Amino acid sequence: MNLIYNSEHYSVVEFGAEAGLEAMRFGGYEILDKAIKREIFIAGPLAEAFRQHVRQLIASEPTIEEIDDFLGNYDLLMAQPVILH
């Protein structure tokens, strides 16, 4: 588990690939929208596609706002509420 992005609005945690678990073959990502207090965990082919899009985005040397806009594309998929214990 590795925190790879943290801004005022979003954080992204990367989980490494795990041999023997097909869903985690490409690793996974937890994306948290701090404003709406919701998150999503993506794995498998969606995680691989996310990784490729992030590489393309980083190559353009984006601003924090551009990264947050990119992560905002995942807001509609976020159904898991963040609950602190």
Q: 5: number of CA atoms within 13 Å, CB side?
A: 24
Query: How many residues in the chain?
Result: 85
Write out the residue range of the structural domain in which residue 52 sits. 2-81
pLDDT digits (tens, 9 = 90+) for 70-84: 999 999 888 878 776
| Total domains present in the chain | 1
Q: Is the full-model pTM beyond 0.85?
A: no
* Measured distance CA(43)–CA(57) in Å, rounded: 19
pLDDT digits (tens, 9 = 90+) for 8-20: 999 999 987 666 6
pLDDT digits (tens, 9 = 90+) for 27-66: 789 999 999 999 999 988 888 899 999 999 999 999 999 9
